[in-house]
Amino acid sequence: DAGVIQSPRHEVTEMGQEVTLRCKPISGHDYLFWYRQTMMRGLELLIYFNNNVPIDDSGMPEDRFSAKMPNASFSTLKIQPSEPRDSAVYFCASSFGNTIYFGEGSWLTVV
């Protein structure tokens, strides 16, 4: 299996622009997680889905952030409008059973 696939790997955007991060989970996995990693706050759980349904979005920082999972093989995390403080590494992860597997991350810089 190719693992969890994220795109883009790197993105630099200007403040105020819309950013869309994409994730393809491992085939057959029924859970999908979005995490954000920063030096200051470590690894934060933003939202997670079970069978394409959002279960807990309490970690989403504010209304500028939204996530969707239209089908079992695709999810997006959108930031609109983006701000410099959104600069971070965004990880997607998926699981079937107990262990979750991470993608390589999307490195976002908002200038």
Partner 1 sequence: AQSVAQPEDQVNVAEGNPLTVKCTYSVSGNPYLFWYVQYPNRGLQFLLKYITGDNLVKGSYGFEAEFNKSQTSFHLKKPSALVSDSALYFCAVRNRDDKIIFGKGTRLHILP
Q: How many residues bind partner 1 (CB under 8 A)?
A: 21
From residue 54 to residue 73, what is the string marking binding to partner 1 with x (rule CB under 8 A)?
-xx-----------------
All residues at 6 or more sequence positions from 17 whose CB lies less than 8 Å from its CB, including other chains: 81, 82, 110
Q: Rule CB under 8 A: choose which of 1, 42, 62, 71 binds partner 1.
A: 42
Minimal distance in Å, beta carbon 18 to partner 1?
Answer: 24
Q: How far apart are CA 74 and CA 16, in angstroms?
A: 25
Q: If binding is defined by CB under 8 A, does position 50 make contact with partner 1?
A: yes
Q: Which among 15-23, 31-39, 60-68, 70-78 is the span making contact with partner 1, rule CB under 8 A?
A: 31-39
**48 binds partner 1, rule: CB under 8 A:** yes
Q: Which amino acid does the sequence have at 29?
A: H
Tell me the window of 21-29, 40-48, 69-77, 78-86 that interacts with partner 1 (CB under 8 A). Answer: 40-48
Instruction: Give the three-state DSSP class for 71.
Output: strand
Q: Could you tell me where the beta strands, DSSP code E, fall in 1-111?
A: 5-7, 10-13, 19-24, 31-38, 42-50, 53-56, 65-71, 74-79, 88-95, 100-102, 106-110
